[in-house]
Amino acid sequence: MFTVTESAAAYLSEKLSEAQAPEEMGARFVLENQAVSIQIDRPGPGDTTYQHGERTVAVLDQEVAIQLAGMTLDVSETPEGPKLALIPGGEEGELEEEDESDGRRGRGLD
């Protein structure tokens, strides 16, 4: 199972608010050439979503959820400031996931 820590959910929520994304849109994780990128998007049929309060913060389709199973999304402090980090293993601090439907792809998240 993919895990999102509370600090990662709060970070994503803040970035989505800064991007003026509607609350029902979240950060969709996309795998391209073995790299993960993020786009602002609405959840679609079969997607798994993670919430922070009333806001959808993370969206994964079934393929990405399988590829990221066993990983934890957290926030790491870097010299440039906080950044999202994928960490192998662990389910500590897991947020509830939900299956969603009905959505389209959107713009990227800085």
Q: Which long-range contacts (CB under 8 A, 24 or more apart) does 23-26 make?
A: 23/54, 23/55, 23/56, 24/56, 25/56, 25/106, 26/50, 26/55, 26/56, 26/57, 26/58, 26/59
The Cα–Cα gap between 100 and 10 comes to 20
What are the two backbone dihedrals, phi and then psi, of residue 87, each rounded to the nearest 5 degrees? -120, 130
At 35-76, the pLDDT tens digits run 899 999 999 999 999 999 999 999 999 999 999 999 999 999
Q: 34 pLDDT band (50/70/90 cuts)?
A: confident
Number of alpha helices (DSSP H) and beta strands (DSSP E) in the chain: 2, 9
Domains (ranges, CATH) in the chain? 3-102 (2.60.300.12)
Q: Given this model, what pLDDT does residue 107 score?
A: 37
